[in-house]
């Protein structure tokens, strides 16, 4: 699996499609060839429930629930930004979700670097009524769950 360098969004902001491609090149595309994975992501992004937003060099793709689950989202992040910027981008994304009225967000992720980032996010929100939980899946990946409260989220890291 090829590794790409991080690209500091303070120096150069990339377009969303380039971020997604670079992320897949970096972390792999699972059981699918890269072109197939990109087609799946493109199709997912066209669903009526899809919400795609970019902060820095991080793209967040999530799907919003319907009916009784309209305030819940399940998604993932595609990141090529620096660690500090990624943390900042995630916090900005949580503020974005909060403003949209989302109360619950779930994601899956892999790797010790992203785990550390999620643990830092946990610490950033520990004094407010937002909770972040991290669990381990049977396949070794992680599941991140965020319950957004009513308190405003921190502005800075």
Total domains in the chain come to 1
Q: What is the pLDDT of residues 10-28, one digit of tens each?
A: 999 999 999 999 998 887 6
What is residue 16's predicted lDDT score, i.e. its pLDDT? 95
CATH code of 77's domain: 3.40.630.30
Structural domain boundaries enclosing 76: 16-147
Radius of gyration of the chain (CA): 15
Q: Answer whether 94's CB lies under 8 Å from 153's CB.
A: yes
Q: What is the pLDDT of residues 57-108, one digit of tens each?
A: 999 999 999 999 999 999 999 999 999 999 999 999 999 999 999 999 999 9
pTM of the predicted protein model: 0.92
Residues 6+ apart with CB under 8 A from 21: 34, 38
């Amino acid at each position: 699996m090829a590794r790409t360098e991080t690209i500091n969004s303070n120096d150069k902001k990339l377009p969303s499609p380039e971020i997604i491609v670079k992320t897949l090149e970096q972390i792999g595309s699972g059981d699918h060839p890269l072109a197939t994975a990109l087609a799946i992501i493109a199709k997912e992004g066209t669903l009526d429930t899809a919400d795609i937003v970019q902060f820095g060099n991080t793209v967040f793709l999530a799907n919003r629930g319907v009916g009784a689950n309209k305030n819940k989202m399940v998604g993932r992040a595609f990141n090529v930004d620096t660690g500090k910027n990624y943390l900042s981008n995630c916090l900005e994304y949580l503020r974005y979700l909060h403003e949209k009225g989302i109360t619950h967000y779930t994601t899956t992720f892999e790797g010790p670097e992203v785990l550390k980032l999620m643990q830092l996010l946990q610490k950033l929100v520990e004094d407010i009524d937002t909770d972040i939980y991290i669990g381990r899946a049977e396949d070794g990946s992680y599941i991140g769950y965020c319950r957004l409260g009513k308190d405003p989220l921190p502005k800075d890291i």
